[in-house]
Amino acid sequence: MEKIRVLLVDDQMLFVESLRTVLETRAQDISVIGVAYEGAKAVEMTEELNPDVVLMDVRMPGMNGVESTRSIKEKHPEIKVLMLTTFDDDQYVVEALRLGAVGYLLKDMPPAELISAVRAVHKGGVLISPKVAAKLVEKLVTTPESSGKEKEAQNLSGSSNTWTNDLSAREKKILQLMAQGLDNKEIAKTLFIAEQTVKNHVSIIYSKLGVRDRVQASLLVIESGLDKDLD
């Protein structure tokens, strides 16, 4: 069995070693190929080891997780980067997603969910923690920066109140499930439709919203504050 090759990046040695133990002892299909304790070393080790997935801390001395993600994705767009975050890292996480990270996880999440997250992103999924997503939405609509972000969302799709009008009911539901982090196979199972049908809908959604991938589509939903209004 070919294992998912994971690089761990975090400056807290106790935490990252515990993370290594969890992955190595509880997931037979995951192999931790290296540990980096700061961002610059993570970039260097990515070049040397070519991991499938990088679990990246956001706040580190020197080069932080966002800067590291930028460097890694510029050279290796195929590598999946998952951010490890706390509730205080909202602004960093959004920027990391824009740079190509495929999601963010809370550091206190249960081990089983962490393992599932690694497997999901390796298969092409996008992981957006519901708890953090809710906090991001609250922040975007209550801070001065929100007006700029709302304008950005409007630039992508028109009015923040009307951009979903171009989507069918089925496309809206698929977009909602995408924003919750489900991959095409999981969406197909949830909606009792063929996976190829989901793929076709996703392509149409990208075209209608003017986005390139699942991360941009999910961010658009979250930043517009409409992730709960698509039901």
Question: Rounded distance, CA 131 to CA 59, Å?
Answer: 19
Enumerate the domain spans of the chain. 4-124, 132-223
Question: Rounded distance, CA 51 to CA 82, Å?
Answer: 12
- The answer to whether domain 4-124 and domain 132-223 are alike in fold is yes
List C-alpha distances in Å: 147 to 67, 95, 134, 221: 25, 17, 18, 15
Q: What is the pLDDT of residue 127?
A: 72
CATH class of the domain comprising 4-124: alpha beta
Q: What is the pLDDT of residue 223?
A: 67
Are 30 and 3 in contact by the 8 Å Cβ rule? The answer is yes
Which residues have CB under 8 Å from 176's CB, separation 6+? 221, 227, 230, 231
- Within 13 Å, how many C-alpha atoms sit on residue 18's CB side? 11
Residues of the chain predicted below pLDDT 50: 141, 143-161
Which residues have CB under 8 Å from 57's CB, separation 6+? 9, 10, 11, 12, 65, 83, 84
Q: What is the pLDDT of residue 189?
A: 92
- H/E element holding 23? helix 13-26
Q: Does domain 132-223 have CATH number 3.40.1160.10?
A: no
Q: What is the pLDDT of residue 168?
A: 85
Q: What is the pLDDT of residue 129?
A: 67
Q: What is the pLDDT of residue 161?
A: 43
Q: What is the pLDDT of residue 30?
A: 95
